[in-house]
Amino acid sequence: MIRAIVFAAALAFVAAGTFATTADAGHHLTRKLCMAKDRAGQSVKFVCKADELCCYNRLLNEKSCQPKAPRLLIKRCL
């Protein structure tokens, strides 16, 4: 009897996990929140696309979103 209860509980957990992953599988993010600190230590926030790299120039207070470059290119953010 205990084996049947344990088996039923395990089956319920597996089924719940399967449904949770299939429901979230179609959802993907299109934007991301980028955060940095300026020279005064204040928090700066800006939004980029999910497939872009967040770049922030502290000296000029410039926020930019750059396309992701291959790792072979050293200079990605200016």
Q: What is the rounded average pLDDT of the residues 40-45?
A: 94
CA distances to 1, 21, 35, 39, 42 from 12, rounded to whole Å, are 17, 14, 41, 53, 48
The pTM of this model reads 0.57
> What is the pLDDT, as a whole number, of residue 47?
96
Confidence at 3, pLDDT banded by 50, 70, 90: low
Confidence at 10, pLDDT banded by 50, 70, 90: low
Q: Dihedrals φ, ψ of 2, to 5°?
A: -65, -40
Q: In the block, which residue shows the tokens 């072979």? A: 72
CA-closest candidate to residue 30, choices 12, 50, 13, 11: 50
